Amino acid sequence: MSGPSQHHPSVPSQPPRTASHLLAITLLVLALIITASVLTVWIGLRYLTQGVSVNVEERGRGTKAVSIKTPVGSLAVNQDVDEAHLGLPIYPGATRLKEGDSANVNLAFGDEAHLRVVAAKFETPDSLEKVKDYYTNRLGSEVTKLVEKDQRGETVFEIKRKGLEKVVALQEVGGKTQIALVRVAHGSAETN
C-alpha cells in the first residue's frame, strides 16, 4: 500500500554567518593595528631615549649651562649673557639684575629651524630720560618702532628685520631705570 506521499516542509537553510565573520575580522584587524602602533611608539621612544644626552655645566657665580641633544634637535640654556650675545648695547654703568633674569636659549631642529632668544635685565640710577636719549642715539635708524609709554608704562624700542627682532624696554621703578634687552633670532642663518 502505497499511501499518500507525505510531503515534509523543507527546513530553511541557515543563512551564512557573514556578519559574525566580518565582526571577527574587524576585531582582528583592529587588534593588529593597535599592537603595531604600540610597538612603533615603544621602538620610537627607545630610539629617542638612547639618542638623548643631557649636559649640565657649572659656570661659576652660581650659574649653570644646560644642553639637551636629541635625534630631532637640541636645546641649550645658559645664563651667560653679554653685549655680543644680545646684539644691543648695554647702558654704561648699568648693573645686571639677579641672574635669573638673564638667559641665552638656543633651539635647533636639524639644519633648518633655529631659534635663539637672549634676554637680560639691567638697572641704573640714571633717569629714564637720560637712558632713553642714550638708546635713541645708539640705535638710531635701526629702530623700526618706538613706543613712548605702553600699557605697562614702558618706553619700548623695537628693531625688526627678517629673522631678527630686538627690543629695548625702559621703565622707571623706585627712582631707578630698569632696562630689559631682548634679542630673538630665527631661521637657518643667524646674525647680530
CA distance from start to end of the chain: 117
The answer to whether 178 touches 170, Cβ cutoff 8 Å, is yes
Quote the pLDDT of residue 5.
57
SS3 of the chain: helix, strand, coil, percent, to 5: 30, 40, 35
Amino acid at 149: K
Task: Supply 46's cell numbers.
Answer: 627607545
Contact 74, 67 (CB under 8 A): yes
Question: Residues near 150 by Cβ (< 8 Å), separated by ≥ 6?
Answer: 156
DSSP letter for each residue of 142-170: G-SEEESS-TTS-EEEEEEETTEEEEEEE
Domain residue limits, the chain: 76-186
Domain covering 76-186: architecture: 3-Layer(aba) Sandwich (3.40)
Q: Which residues contact 78 (CB under 8 A, 6 or more apart)?
A: 59, 63, 64, 65, 66, 103, 104
Q: Say what the pLDDT of residue 189 is.
A: 45
* pLDDT at site 146: 83
The rounded distance, in Å, linking the Cα atoms of 62 and 120 is 16
pLDDT score recorded for residue 20 = 65
* Per-residue confidence (pLDDT) for residue 125, from 0 to 100: 95
Per-residue pLDDT of the chain (192 residues; tens, 9 = 90+): 555 556 656 655 555 556 666 777 778 888 888 888 888 887 777 766 666 666 667 766 566 666 567 666 776 777 777 777 788 999 999 988 875 667 777 777 766 677 788 888 899 999 999 999 999 999 988 888 888 876 677 888 898 988 889 989 999 888 999 988 888 888 754 444
- Cβ(181)–Cβ(119) under 8 Å? yes
DSSP state of 62: T
**Contact predicate 186/115, CB 8 Å:** yes
> For residue 30, which phi and psi values (nearest 5 degrees)?
-60, -45
